[in-house]
Amino acid sequence: MSETLQQVMLAAAEDPATLRALREDPGSLSDRFGLSGDVRDRLTHAEHLMPQARGEYLTITLHTITITAGQGL
Amino acid sequence: MTAAAPTISVVLPARDEGDRVGATVASALGAAAEPDRLEVVVVDDCSAPGGRPVVAAGADRCRTHVIRSDRHLGVGAARNLAARHARGRVLFVTDAHARFSDGWDAEVGRLLAPRRILSVTIRDQESAWRGHGCRLVVPYMGTRWNTSPPDPASTPHVQIVSSAGTVVERELFERLGGYDEGMVHYGGFEPEFSVRAWRSGAEIVHTDAIEIAHRFKPREECASFLGTARTAIVHNCLRFGTAHLPESMILEMVRLHALEFPDHIREALVMLEARGAWRRRAELSASLRYGFDWFVRHFELRDQIGRPVPES
């Protein structure tokens, strides 16, 4: 499986159409690379993980990528 | 006559921090119970001429070694370089803009143990806010602060130790391989180091007996900084996740970042391949004592919307 995942990521790095499919059409990307099961399910539903409040993940602190209640770096 | 080796080396990277470094050094020495047993190792990470570290003459400068890098290393490689120059048995990793609580070195001596990393309390210099280590956000690969101390009824384990207050025996730091120099510039170094430490069989124990007062950047300064660091941060998150996450979460993580940071994802993916992220995963899998599953079970970790984390 690791090899397939690496192939997907490499293709997304090299080919704008693959990168676009990763963002906008993960189902077709999964078909193309033969992804199934939990990998496919989690990939296709990743937008559910997006922050609910705009900029939530942009509030970062210290030398970690840290989500806080308004603290700065 | 040769001076005795110090017990504790305070190590810190500094980039354009100027005289804030001197204030940090003065605080570390001034608040210590036994300053004669300390040294401070500063890595000047390619500061501009006006921002190079400034340390007061006298005792502060005598106990401080400044190592200049003419190439921008980033915080992970800079800390590793400082650690390689340190002579103390114990490393106290912190930032260039920190203040130490009284008697901090005595508490280090009391609390540190083999295979144990100490997470100290981080306090905002401008408010009453305190952070007590952090917890991991998966699959984003970020962290959230713990804003209350661990339950005193149990061992005060925390998932992630903050960069401003990481205390570790130098031998353990070296055995772990220090911070991951496959990461670049800024972001993700400490959580990756922490997860790797846990997976190696070390523990991270939080203490409120040592406090570091930290200067947090104002919001506008953060925005400017992040504008320059974003691609590095995305790359580092992806490298962190590729190294440790179950396979079924890796593409989910990549797509999450692609949706959130469309202007940075391609370059981050190019860097990921060029810097051997998959090779790193294989090396860690072969060398670490525990899998990521162990970390998940130990902390009852859920993903960032509360779902179970799948088995590796």
B265/A19 Cβ within 8 A: yes
pLDDT value at residue B153: 87
* Alpha-carbon gap, residue B122 to B102, rounded angstroms: 14
Chain A residues within an 8 Å CB radius of B134: 64, 66
Give dist(CA B233, CA B189) in Å, integer.
10
Distance CA B296, CA B136 (A): 10
Show Cβ contacts of residue A31 under 8 Å, excluding neighbours closer than 6 positions.
Answer: none
Which of B72-86, B132-146, B194-208, B221-235 has the weakest average pLDDT?
B221-235
**DSSP tag of B286:** H
The Cα B211–Cα B52 span in angstroms is 26
Q: How far apart are CA B111 and CA B307, in angstroms?
A: 35
Strand extents, DSSP E, chain B: 8-14, 38-45, 64-69, 90-93, 98-100, 116-124, 130-131, 134-137, 142-145, 166-169, 203-214
B221 contacts A60? CB cut-off 8 A: no
CATH number of B8-219: 3.90.550.10
On whether the CB atoms of residues B40 and B51 are closer than 8 A, the answer is: no
Average confidence (pLDDT) over B9-32:
96
At A66 the pLDDT is 43
- The average pLDDT across B18-22 equals 94
pLDDT band of residue B186 (cuts 50, 70, 90) is confident
Q: Give pLDDT tens digits for B264-279.
A: 999 999 999 999 999 9
- A54 to chain B: closest CA residue: B260
CB-CB contact of B207 with B120 (8 Å): yes
**Domain limits, chain B:** 8-219, 220-288
Half-sphere exposure of B265 (CA within 13 A, CB side): 23
Query: Closest residue of A to B190, CA-based?
Result: A64
Predicted local distance difference test score (pLDDT) of residue B242: 98
Higher pLDDT, A44 or B58: A44
The answer to whether the Cβ–Cβ distance between A5 and B247 falls below 8 Å is: yes
Restricting to B residues 32-61, those with a Cβ less than 8 Å away from any Cβ of A are none
Distance from CA of A56 to the nearest CA of B (A): 11
Mean per-residue pLDDT for B97-120?
A: 96
Pairwise CA distance, residues B88 & B82, whole Å: 11
Residues 187-246 of B with CB under 8 A from A: 187-191, 214, 216-219, 221-223, 225-226, 233, 236-237
Contacts of B247 in chain A (CB under 8 A): 1-2, 5, 39
Predicted complex ipTM: 0.89
Q: Average of pLDDT values for A36-56? A: 82
Map residue B95 onto helix, strand or coil.
coil
Q: What is the pLDDT of residues B208-236, one digit of tens each?
A: 999 999 887 776 777 777 778 889 999 99
Helix ranges, chain A (H):
2-14, 16-24, 26-33, 37-44
Put simply, whether B95 touches A (Cβ < 8 Å) is yes
Percent of chain B having pLDDT more than 70?
Answer: 99
Mean of the per-residue pLDDT values of chain B: 93
| Residue A65 pLDDT greater than 60, yes or no | no
Banded pLDDT at A53 (limits 50, 70, 90): low
Please indicate whether, in this complex, the C-beta atoms of B122 and A48 are within 8 angstroms of each other.
no
Instruction: Tell me the C-alpha distance between A49 and A58, whole Å.
Output: 15
Higher pLDDT, B280 or A55: B280
Q: B139 touching A, CB under 8 A?
A: yes
Query: Which range is least confidently modeled, A12-21, B18-27, B106-115, B135-144?
Result: B135-144
Q: Rounded to whole angstroms, how far apart are CA atoms B111 and B155?
A: 13
Q: CB-side exposure of B144: number of CA atoms within 13 Å?
A: 13
Chain B residues closer than 8 Å to A56 by CB: none
Q: Is the pLDDT of residue A58 over 70?
A: no
pLDDT of B30 reads: 97
Per-residue pLDDT averaged across B231-244, rounded?
A: 96
Using only the alpha carbons of chain B, give its radius of gyration: 19
What is the spatial distance between Cα B41 and Cα B79, in angstroms, rounded to a whole number?
Answer: 9
Helix (H) or strand (E) holding B24: helix B20-30
Task: Give the pLDDT score at B1.
Answer: 42
The total of other beta-carbon atoms located within 10 Å of residue B76's CB is 27
Strand (E) or helix (H) holding A66: strand A66-67
- Indicate which of A65, A67, A68 best probes the interface with B, i.e. most B CBs within 10 Å of its own CB: A65
User: B95–A1: do the CB atoms touch at under 8 Å?
Assistant: no
Whether A23 contacts chain B with CB within 8 A: yes
Which residues make Cβ contacts (< 8 Å) with residue A15, sequence separation at least 6? none
pTM of the model: 0.94
Question: Which residue in the block uniquely carries the two structure tokens 């190439």?
Answer: B71
Contact A23 B142 (CB under 8 A): no
pLDDT class of B25 with cuts at 50, 70, 90: very high
Contact B247 A62 (CB under 8 A): no
Give the pLDDT confidence score for residue B163 in this predicted structure: 86
Under an 8 A CB cutoff, do A19 and B310 touch? no
**Amino acid identity of B257?**
H
